[in-house]
Amino acid sequence: MPELVFFSGTMDCGKSTLALQIGHNRSARGLQGVIFTRDDRAGEGKLSSRLGLVTEAVEAGEGMDLYAYLVGQLSQGGKADYVIVDEAQFLGPDQIDQLARIVDDLGLDVFAFGITTDFRTKLFPGSQRLIELADRLEQLQVEALCWCGARATHNARTVDGEMVVEGEQVVVGDVNRPSGEVGYEVLCRRHHRKRMTSASAHAGALSPDVLPVNHA
Active site residues: 87
What is the torsion angle, in degrees rounded to the nearest 10, for the CA atoms of residue 118, residue 48, residue 91 and residue 168? 40
Buried b (16+ CB within 10 A) or exposed e, 153-171: bbbbbbbebebeeeeeeee
Q: How many CB atoms lie within 10 A of CB 18?
A: 21
Write out the chain in H/E/C secondary structure: CCCEEEEECCCCCCHHHHHHHHHHHHHHCCCCEEEEECCCCCCCCEEECCCCCEEECEECCCCCCHHHHHHHHHHCCCCCCEEEECCHHHCCHHHHHHHHHHHHHHCCEEEEEECCECCCCCECHHHHHHHHHCCEEEECCCCCECCCCCECCEEEEEECCEEECCCCCCCCCEECCCCCCEEEEEECHHHHHCCCCHHHHHHHHHCCCCCCCCCC
